[in-house]
Structure 1
Amino acid sequence: MKSVLKIISFTALVLTLAPSFLVFWGYIEPSLSKILMLIGTIVWFGTASFWMNKTEENEEEVI
């Protein structure tokens, strides 16, 4: 489950960063870029908080 959340969150991070380059190169319009970045940001914060919020105590148990 944790690895699936990581994949989704990193995909969302790419969705947050990639549209700015696509607008710069002229592949997409700025309005589409804003929508894609908003979706990527929402998904990133929704998924990354579950796997990044670990205390040191929990990490020691896994090891």
Structure 2
Amino acid sequence: MKRILQFISLVGLLMTILPPIFFFLRKISHSVQNLLMLLGAVIWFGSAIFWLGSKAKTEET
């Protein structure tokens, strides 16, 4: 489950990084860039909170 959440987080992170590059190259419009970055941020924060910063379970003896 953690790997799935990490993959979803990576997709969200890419959705915040790639749109400005595509906008700079004039492949997408400004409104599409804003929409993709907003969705990417929501996906990133929505999925990363469940796995980021969690420590591995260890046995206490």
Scaled by the length of structure 1, what TM-score is found? Answer: 0.86
Consecutive unaligned residues in structure 1, runs of 5 or more: none
Question: Larger % of helix: which?
Answer: 1
CA distance in structure 2 between the partners assigned to 1:5 and 1:60 by the alignment: 18
Q: Supply the RMSD in Å over aligned alpha carbons.
A: 1.5
SS of the residue corresponding to residue 59 of structure 1 reads coil
Runs of 4+ in 1 over 2 A off after TM superposition: none
TM-score (structure 2 length as normaliser): 0.89
Q: Give the structure 1 partner of residue 2 of structure 2.
A: 2
How many residue pairs get aligned? The number is 59
Identical columns (%): 36
Which 5+ residue runs of structure 2 have no aligned equivalent?
A: none
